[in-house]
Amino acid sequence: MSVLSGILIDGFSYGMILFMIAVGLSVTMGLMRVINLAHGGFALLGGAFAHWLTSIASLNYALSVILSVLAVMLIAIAMERALYKKIYQFSELQQVLATIGIAFLMIASVNLFLGSTLLPIRAPAFFSTSIDLGFRSLPAHRLVVIIAGLVIAGGLYILLDRTRFGIQLRAAVDNRDMAASLGINTVKIYALTFSLGAGLAAFGGILGAELLPIEAYYPLRYMVLFLVVVAVGGMGSIAGSFFAAISLGIIDTAARYIVPDFGTVFFFIAMMIVLTLRPHGLLGRI
């Protein structure tokens, strides 16, 4: 019983991290049709900023998180205008290559300024306390992650379902040319969406640093993980990413508890089964 609830809670919070980082990737893939292998780089940059702000500049955690996320969003907008704008027209392989190149440059930059060691983020002491939920207690960090993930999922739902921006974005994902001919400024939508996705990745990267430690090679080390979430969930589907992230988080955690010798194999086998049966992902439309 305690093993089961342990798996569920750890798996769920792990899934939340995956969701926060991967959702932006899913939307950019669905909207811009870009295979962005550098997406994990935004999580790395977020984590690196947070490391610098908390450890070296000794800023308070919450403020550091906000500043880091904003910084990453600005960088993302600049990169979108300078680099990605052109990548949209590339063939699949060129996209893969260009974004690997960008990931290399991100790794090299972090490496240059902060080195290739682990970059710990000084979290508030509260995170390591445990909270009693009545039926069991769990680390406060897990609770924060789960709440943050749910808030973001809910926020995205409202943003997409209830706002003008959301309607325009969904129109653009469904049919880019149609949206453009209806007078929707797709260029602006692309840039904003890209930046928002990068910001979420940074946030997820910082919050998830305990599970996926921040270091220079982060983008390559965990890239596959994020891509799998997108592929399984279906490109461009936020709900798909959510369910895929949670299921994969729980499968992976369960495998680690039950058959620790075969860690990630189950994760990939689960993915292969889904993709063989549903080549466009669980909720893919394309």
Partner 1 sequence: MSTDAAKTLAVTPPRKRFRTRLLLDLVLIGIGSATFFLFPENLGFVTRVLIMIIFVLSLDLVIGYAGIATLGHAALFGSGAYAAGLFAVYISADPLIGLAIGIIAGAVIAFLSGLILLRAGGLTLLMLSIAIAQILQEIANKERPLTGGSDGLLGIDMDPIFGIFAFDFFGRTGFWYVFVILVMVFFLLKLVVASPFGLAARGIHESPARMRAIGTPVYWRLVGIYTLAGAIAGIAGALSAQVTELVSLEALGFTLSAEALIMLILGGTGRLYGAIFGTVIFMSVHHWAASIDPFNWLFVIGGLVLVVVYFVPEGLLGLPAKLRQWLRAGR
Distance CA 286, CA 281 (A): 9
Near partner 1 by CB under 8 A: residue from 20, 98, 196, 282: 98
Question: Residue 178 to residues 87, 148, 170: CA-CA distances in angstroms?
Answer: 21, 35, 11
Q: Which residues pair with 138 in a beta bridge?
A: 131
Near partner 1 by CB under 8 A: residue from 73, 227, 250, 254: 227
How many binding residues for partner 1 (CB under 8 A)? 43
Amino acid at 84: Y
According to CB under 8 A, which residues from 238 to 267 bind partner 1?
Answer: 261-265
> Judged by CB under 8 A, does residue 35 bind partner 1?
yes
Give the three-state DSSP class for 263.
coil
Residue that is written with structure tokens 């680099």 in the block: 83
Near partner 1 by CB under 8 A: residue from 63, 108, 118, 178: 108
Near partner 1 by CB under 8 A: residue from 2, 93, 117, 164: 93
Distance CA 114, CA 232 (A): 34
Of the candidate spans 3-11, 107-115, 124-132, 149-157, the one that interacts with partner 1 by CB under 8 A turns out to be 107-115
Cα dihedral value 121, 57, 118, 225, nearest 10: 50
Angle at 250 between CA 127 and CA 27, to 5 degrees: 85
Nearer to partner 1, 43 or 244 (CB): 244
- Which chain residues interact with partner 1 by CB under 8 A? 29, 35, 83, 86, 90, 92-94, 96-98, 100-105, 107-108, 111-112, 116, 220, 223-224, 227-228, 230-231, 235, 261-265, 268-269, 271-272, 275-276, 279-280
